[in-house]
Structure 1
């Protein structure tokens, strides 16, 4: 399959364009920093069905999971959808044109009805402001009997980082589990299984923490701000009060969903 040309971010709302630009900039180093994201995504892998014909990786990023899906289901048609053109360009450069790379919004997907029998999405839909629209689109693009396997993030994710920088607004503004489940119900999809859990990852120092969270696009520094040595030292001191024998903790409140289109 050939790749699809990506459209510029200029036509997106400001918040979407900002997210797209942030992830596009992060694309070259994303894979090296995405250990937590990879570990969370692995929880979906054993649950996937044995067969699939048309697969969508929703929020595919640099294409790591898209390529793994293509390898696991070698007879399937695989598509990677992402908002960030830089991520898609990186994915195409790494994995070629056997996978279709498509720019688009999870809440307004550029696909026909009943296009996919399997949707995979790892830590992507937390960036979508309208969770009802996302679930409605999943119901639309899945075939009857199609399934979606999703991880997303719940409120409280990266709380230690927000505390360290004294910027609670830096926390991801994600819907809570009840809101997500209600959106699933409203869409007509069936929630066959769900799990909420807090996972902690540990890092040797503040620099390692800040590098790691770029994978989920958290913005903790004020735009164009130059931190003084005193501010940086104060942040490091605050984080050190949270240190454990394993290192500095960073919490991810994970929500795993298995959805099915039963009608």
Structure 2
């Protein structure tokens, strides 16, 4: 799904509802299918500070990282925030009171200024149309000296999937991703004094085309615009194109992971 940098307010509300609905539907099977997302999240762990008192897990999904953070910092208050109510229901079911579960938008965080000293966010902010607004909110809620750790996605992500579709056009179900410079500039404009942005290609392999699509759609990461439908012939042609990319390990899916380490 191609996404402009800024959306009119009503279009943004519609977008937000579609994203929340897609991830709510995906919630029961998310942990089972999100092996790539989990593997990429482990890359943030090396950047954790020694101490933290109030931690925000932004885009917490089914709450696994929130629970890990609660175990890592047993004296801290962990806030797991997600836009999708279904994800929060799954987080409560899986992890109980390991964190306080909040339904909210990254562009309007339900936290007071200077409330958190650590923000952890694994593969969530790429869903936010207004990157600058998210950065301003993160800077607002972070205490001086606090740290923000983010994994997001950059251009080149899912290029095999894009290549497989004969009618790949904006609106066909994949995100438009912002590059490292966009994230670096946005963080600086928000006021962060330390900004580190690195990029790395992560590749994962799946046994067949159905498994590839399940790894994307099954974790909510495909929310086509109203009226966008794929028929059997579309799927057959896409599968044939994807098979041409097969390697010995299986069918590849590439993610360009951007890691941001920000300090106020």
TM-score with structure 2 length normalisation? 0.90
2:57 & 2:230 partners in 1: Cα distance?
37
Q: Deviations over 1:68-104 (max 9, x none)?
A: 0001111000001111011011101111134111111
Which residue does 1:141 correspond to in 2?
141
Q: Is the 8 A contact 2:187 2:195 kept in 1?
A: no
Residues 95, 232 of structure 1: alpha-carbon distance in 2 compared, 3 angstrom cutoff: same
Q: Is the 8 A contact 2:66 2:98 kept in 1?
A: no
User: After TM superposition, which residue ranges in structure 1, 4 or more long, deviate above 3 angstroms?
Assistant: 219-226
Indicate whether 1:191 and 2:194 are aligned: yes
2:194 & 2:159 partners in 1: Cα distance?
28
Out of 244, 251, 256, the position equivalent to 1:253 is 256
Which residue does 1:96 correspond to in 2?
96
1:81 & 1:48 partners in 2: Cα distance?
19
Indicate whether 1:237 and 2:216 are aligned: no
Secondary structure of the structure 1 residue equivalent to 2:229 = coil
Indicate whether 1:37 and 2:41 are aligned: no
Q: Using the TM superposition, give the Cα deviation of residue 190 of structure 1 relative to its aligned residue in structure 2, in angstroms.
A: 2.6
Matched ranges for 1:82-121 at <5 A: 82-121=82-121
2:225 & 2:158 partners in 1: Cα distance?
14
1:211 & 1:191 partners in 2: Cα distance?
38
Matched ranges for 1:148-159 at <5 A: 148-159=148-159
Return the structure number with greater relative CO, CA threshold 8 A, min gap 6.
Answer: 2
Q: Is the 8 A contact 1:165 1:220 kept in 2?
A: no
Deviates more, 1:154-163 or 1:54-63: 154-163
Q: Using the TM superposition, give the Cα deviation of residue 223 of structure 1 relative to its aligned residue in structure 2, in angstroms.
A: 5.0
CA RMSD of aligned residues (A): 2.0
Which residue does 2:48 correspond to in 1?
48
2:108 & 2:234 partners in 1: Cα distance?
41
Q: Is the 8 A contact 2:22 2:223 kept in 1?
A: no
Deviates more, 1:231-240 or 1:108-117: 231-240
